[in-house]
Amino acid sequence: MIKDITIGQFFPGKSVIHRLDPRIKLLLTVIYIVMLFSAKTFAGLAAGVAFLLVSFLLSGIPIKMMLKSIKPILPIIIFTGILNLFFISTGEVIFSWKFITVTTGGVRTMVFMASRIILLICGTSLLTYTTSPITLTDAIERILSPLKIIKFPAHEIAMMMTIALRFIPTLIEETDKIMSAQKARGADMETGSLIKRAKALIPILIPLFVSAFRRAEELALAMECRCYRGGEGRTRLKQLKTAPRDYVAVVLALAFLAAVIFLNRVWI
Amino acid sequence: MGNFIEIKDVTFSYVNDYDDPPTKNTVIRGVSLEISKGEFVAVLGHNGSGKSTLAKMLNAINLPETGEVIVDGMKTSDEARLYDIRKTVGMVFQNPDNQIVATVVEEDVAFALENIGVPPAEIRERVDNALKTVGMYDYREHAPHKLSGGQKQRIAIAGVLAMQPECIVMDEPTAMLDPIGRREIMNTIKQLNAAGVTIVLITHYMDEAAEAGRVIVMDDGRVIADDTPKKVFSKAEMLKAVGLDVPNVTELTHRLIDEGLDLPDDIISEDECVERLYELLKKG
């Protein structure tokens, strides 16, 4: 049950999107986000949708997965939707009851905002679907490395992210084990008030923390034994190299961005 | 040219600064040992005998309080040579989960090489070789957490092996594994030793120690026996006095000897035991 949790699901593959340089993919994601936020009209958003669909089709990730990524944020979409619906009072009044008024402007903003959030999530999840966490952290390290001049710990941050990713499954497994052990000794975690249930988590969290600290100490020792001494003078097994396809992708994304801005003006 | 590893009259204690006044717990009380290149040494001892502490002195994780440890001509207290020492003496720990750093097998094996600044093309080659040596090459792109304990431990060994150390110290590498995993690791260890890597194996298991070329028994921070497995295990009384067992076959032959059977007291392998019993029964 608890083991099913995966953070940043990655689908291995050999598509064009998979093979793009991760740094470029991050850049493309940023361009895509700019696209969505500069779109003022539905026509502009449509260009964003087109860009997303082309990327999804090229990646070979089933469209089903795109819909699945929306599921967890559905409450947020509904919540913002309702807020927009009731608090925006431009356009004609469609419906009015006591202090509640719904206007055409409200409906439009609601649909527009909801589409924007959905597109945002779909696009960013495409990034994690097609990029393994380790290449992603690698890319982040490379992008941030110029900041080393101002003593920004780019390597350390990337290392921390890698270790965190590495230990998520281990700690989830451990939590599972501790929960079973406490249940076997009569711990009750499923009934009672919210406060009671929160309190029941203490006997799980304390052993988990103790074990996490012990793991950290052992890992540090093992890293020291393997000559770890920070980012200085470090080489990498996998070098990141940009290929022509990366530049083509950036040009295409910029073209879509131009289309969004253009459509903002022509259509309403 | 002296020995590969020289331990000269070494002591070590853990100091607990949180106590007032600070308390001192001495765990190594004067140990002198020499290990030559290509040896397979097993270190035995019950919990708290100082065997792990001693192991961590071989690659400058622990520095001796008095005395000195010399690895391939380098003093472990010499900070300028620290990384050369750690490149020479690799270390594998008990829990494979806590020594794997990366989320992909090959990335983890490459970790040490990335740290010491090996050029990428050479990293690739050494990673592939290390993975082939431990028989995990086909798993190079897998996620470590989906592998079995024995497989994970072999990845950890490959990660150390990629540094091309002359000696690998293993601190109870099989303690958390099932029998199949233990067998896998023992086979890997023997294969590495045959290829010329010096092995120092710290273990709880007598049958693992029996496969070594030399057995060192520690008790209360001192070396109390240092000989071939045959000679060490023939002193069953001495081992039992320090809370250790002898391998099952040795135990069996010792009991048979007590019952008056004419057997040698230094049998440590099952095959040998079977053969001797067979001869004895044939004579009638």
* Domain boundaries of chain B, sorted by first residue: 5-246
Please provide the average confidence, as pLDDT, over all residues in chain B. 89
Look up the CATH superfamily of B5-246.
Answer: P-loop containing nucleotide triphosphate hydrolases (3.40.50.300)
CB nearest A162 (choices: B95, B102, B120): B102
Looking at this protein, which amino acid is placed at residue B79?
E
Other beta carbons within 10 angstroms of residue A138's beta carbon come to 22
Task: Give the tens place of pLDDT for each residue, A42-61.
Answer: 888 888 999 999 998 898 88
| CB neighbour list of residue B251: distance below 8 Å, 6 or more residues apart | B236, B245
Can you give the pLDDT at residue A268?
A: 57
Which of B61, B100, B101 best tests the A interface by mutation, with the highest count of A CBs <10 A?
Answer: B101
The rounded distance, in Å, linking the Cα atoms of B36 and B31 is 16
The rounded distance, in Å, linking the Cα atoms of A72 and A7 is 12
DSSP SS3 for B14: strand
Between A249 and B268, the higher pLDDT residue: A249
Report yes or no: B185 and B177 within 8 Å, Cβ to Cβ.
yes
Query: Is ipTM over 0.90?
Result: no
Count chain A–chain B contacts defined by CB atoms under 8 A: 98
Report yes or no: B224 and B242 within 8 Å, Cβ to Cβ.
yes
Residues of A within 8 A of B127 (CB-CB) are 237
The rounded distance, in Å, linking the Cα atoms of B219 and B242 is 7
Q: What is the pLDDT averaged over residues A192-208?
A: 87
Task: Give the tens place of pLDDT for each residue, A116-138.
Answer: 999 998 888 888 888 887 788 88
Can you give the pLDDT at residue B2?
A: 57
Q: Which long-range contacts (CB under 8 A, 24 or more apart) does A155-163 make?
A: A155/A230, A155/A231, A155/A234, A156/A230, A156/A231, A159/A231, A161/A133, A161/A137, A162/A133, A162/A134, A162/A137, A162/B101, A162/B102, A162/B103, A163/A219, A163/B101
Task: Give the pLDDT band (50/70/90) at residue A267.
Answer: low
Residues of A within 8 A of B129 (CB-CB) are none
DSSP SS3 for B100: coil
User: Among the ranges A136-140, A226-230, A238-242, B41-45, which has the highest mean pLDDT value?
Assistant: B41-45
Can you give the pLDDT at residue A62?
A: 84
Radius of gyration (C-alpha) of chain A in whole angstroms: 24
| CB neighbour list of residue A258: distance below 8 Å, 6 or more residues apart | none
Q: What is the pLDDT averaged over residues B75-95?
A: 91
pLDDT of residue A192 exceeding 50, the answer is yes
Can you give the pLDDT at residue B122?
A: 93
Place of tokens 């939590």: A175
Structural tokens at position A190: 């499923």
Closest residue, chain A, to B108 (C-alpha): A237
Q: What is the pLDDT averaged over residues B249-267?
A: 84
Can you give the pLDDT at residue B1?
A: 43
Report yes or no: B210 and B14 within 8 Å, Cβ to Cβ.
no
Q: What is the pLDDT averaged over residues A179-197?
A: 85
Please provide the average confidence, as pLDDT, over all residues in chain A. 86
The rounded distance, in Å, linking the Cα atoms of B113 and A234 is 9
Interchain contact B99–A (C-beta under 8 A): yes
- DSSP secondary structure code for residue B213 in this structure: S
pLDDT of residue A8 exceeding 60, the answer is no
Contact A166 B124 (CB under 8 A): no
pTM of the shown model: 0.80
Which letter, b or e, does each residue of B245-284 get, where b requires 16 or more Cβ atoms within 10 Å of its Cβ?
bbbebbebbbebeeeeeebeebbbbeeebeebbeeeeeee
The rounded distance, in Å, linking the Cα atoms of A259 and A249 is 15
| CB neighbour list of residue B254: distance below 8 Å, 6 or more residues apart | B236, B246, B265
CA distance, residue A184 to nearest chain B CA (Å)? 23
Report yes or no: B56 and B71 within 8 Å, Cβ to Cβ.
no
Let me know the angle formed at the C-alpha of B127 by B181 and A214, rounded to the nearest 5 degrees: 55
Report yes or no: A253 and B137 within 8 Å, Cβ to Cβ.
no
Report which of B129, B144, B155, B130 is spatially closest to residue A134, judged by C-alpha positions. Answer: B144
Task: Give the pLDDT band (50/70/90) at residue B240.
Answer: confident
CA distance, residue A129 to nearest chain B CA (Å)? 16
Closest residue, chain B, to A229 (C-alpha): B115
Let me know the angle formed at the C-alpha of B163 by B158 and B165, rounded to the nearest 5 degrees: 95
Let me know the angle formed at the C-alpha of A121 by A116 and A123, rounded to the nearest 5 degrees: 95
Task: Give the tens place of pLDDT for each residue, B154-190.
Answer: 999 999 999 999 999 999 999 888 989 999 899 999 9
Q: What is the pLDDT averaged over residues B202-220?
A: 90
Rounded to whole angstroms, what are the CA distances from A112 to A36, A159, B278? Answer: 11, 39, 88
| CB neighbour list of residue A13: distance below 8 Å, 6 or more residues apart | A59, A60, A61, A130
The rounded distance, in Å, linking the Cα atoms of B182 and B204 is 12
Can you give the pLDDT at residue B198?
A: 94
